[in-house]
């Protein structure tokens, strides 16, 4: 086990809480510095960040679950327009502040779901990245054993109500609420050929990966995962090998493309060549 993980495991909670308050203060006071520091530590970046540039065709991208802005930052390098959705006020305000001078960026302080209205989002005191609309989320239950859970009333809308066109890329990171977002995106899925990257973890909700894969098949989407510098068909996905959260090869991001829309052989050649 890495040293930083050992320190994290055995540090008393009162020290963790104190450090967390300092971290949140710094993040909200200096969001761009916080983001830059986060990005400069390459160990923080998801491996899939490196391939989103291959999905740009002159259209726009969506960052559903904007958080601190990592994906928004990289999307703005490769897409003509980026729209983000972030329900937590602190994160929303930081995104708005960081990218206020970029006319190609907009952000909404809402959660996307399967219906328009209101919902409760559950926010762990220390792990804001685990915030979820799912009251029965397994990671939320784990967090509640060691930290306070804040409940916040937020607004929800469906993706379809925005009537997006010319979407090249959609990233979804909503901590167990993936299917609800997709249920509210039926017309968007039908009318666009966007590549979709979705974070899905069984540790949030059992069966969630297969459920999302099967649902998107209804819209002619094939599933892939990024492994060993190439996109691999979901047919080769082995839960014991690829979805073991104690392994450095832990796969939790899945890439969906409509059948025949991606030239996988060509893309994999480019991905492998880029690593040389």
Q: Which domains does the chain have, with CATH numbers?
A: 41-274 (3.40.50.150)
For residue 259, which of 239, 233, 236 has the smallest C-alpha distance?
233
Helix (H) or strand (E) holding 264: helix 264-274
* Mean of all residue pLDDT scores within the chain: 89
Q: Judge if pTM exceeds 0.75.
A: yes
Residues shown for the chain: 276
How confident is the model over 15-20, as a mean pLDDT?
64
223 CA to centre of own chain: 16
pLDDT at position 186, please?
A: 98
pLDDT digits (tens, 9 = 90+) for 170-207: 999 999 999 999 999 999 999 999 999 999 999 999 99
Token pair, residue 242, equals 């690829």
Q: Is the pLDDT of residue 252 over 90?
A: yes
Point out the least confidently predicted range of 62-76, 82-96, 152-166, 255-269.
255-269
For residue 69, which of 80, 81, 84 has the smallest C-alpha distance?
84
- Let me know if 90 is exposed, middle or buried by CB neighbors in 10 A (0-12, 13-18, 19+): middle
Strand ordering across the sheet containing 230-233:
105-108, 81-85, 60-64, 167-172, 195-199, 253-258, 221-227, 230-233
Q: Is the pLDDT of residue 17 over 50?
A: yes
How confident is the model over 57-80, as a mean pLDDT?
95
For residue 67, which of 131, 158, 133 has the smallest C-alpha distance?
131
First vs last C-alpha separation in the chain: 30
- Helices 13-29, 31-40: axis angle to 10 degrees equals 110
């Amino acid at each position: 086990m890495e040293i930083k993980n050992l320190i994290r495991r055995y540090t008393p909670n009162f020290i963790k809480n104190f450090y967390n308050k300092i971290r949140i203060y710094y993040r909200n006071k200096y969001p761009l510095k916080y983001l830059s520091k986060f990005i400069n530590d390459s160990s923080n970046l998801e491996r899939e960040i490196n391939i989103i540039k291959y999905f740009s065709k002159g259209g726009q991208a969506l960052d559903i679950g904007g958080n601190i802005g990592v994906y928004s930052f990289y999307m703005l390098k490769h897409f003509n327009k980026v729209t983000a959705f972030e329900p937590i006020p602190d994160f929303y305000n930081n995104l708005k502040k960081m990218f206020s001078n970029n006319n190609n960026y907009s952000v909404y302080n809402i959660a996307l779901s399967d219906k328009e209205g209101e919902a409760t989002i559950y926010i762990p005191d220390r792990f804001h990245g685990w915030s979820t609309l799912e009251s029965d989320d397994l990671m939320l239950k784990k967090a509640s054993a060691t930290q306070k859970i804040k409940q916040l009333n937020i607004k929800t809308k469906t993706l379809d109500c925005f009537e997006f066109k010319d979407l090249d890329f959609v990233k979804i990171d909503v901590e167990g609420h993936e299917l609800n977002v997709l249920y509210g995106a039926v017309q968007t899925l039908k009318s666009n050929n966007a590549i979709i990257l979705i974070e899905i973890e069984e540790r949030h909700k059992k069966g969630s990966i297969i459920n999302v894969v099967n649902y998107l098949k209804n819209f002619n989407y094939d599933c892939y995962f990024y492994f060993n510098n190439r996109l691999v068909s979901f047919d080769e996905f082995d839960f014991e090998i690829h979805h073991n959260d104690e392994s450095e090869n832990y796969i939790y991001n899945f890439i969906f493309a409509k059948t025949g829309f991606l030239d996988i052989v060509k893309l994999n050649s480019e991905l492998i060549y880029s690593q040389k």
